[in-house]
Amino acid sequence: MTRPMVQIHNSQTDEVIFREMTETEFEEANARKAEAEARAEAEAAKAAEKAALLAKLGITDDEAKLLLS
């Protein structure tokens, strides 16, 4: 399996080099991707909880903002 490519651009010489990610770079990229997915899932869960609470109270998001301001 080929790994994602890394582009390195030397702005002084305008030389561009393409190479495959190293093992470490690949592992770090996968870790960052997993963290981003976990954050997105947590944000979605929080939004769902908020929507459920607002529905339970029978108010809209705008009405809740007015109450809290």
pLDDT one digit per residue (tens) for the chain, 69 residues: 688 999 999 999 999 999 999 999 999 999 999 999 999 999 999 999 999 999 999 999 999 999 988
| Rounded Cα gap, residues 44 and 67, in angstroms | 23
Q: What's this model's pTM, rounded to 2 decimal places? A: 0.67
Taking the domains of the chain in order of start, what are their residue ranges?
Answer: 5-68
Here the tokens at position 64 are 């809740």
Intra-chain end-to-end CA distance of the chain, in Å: 54
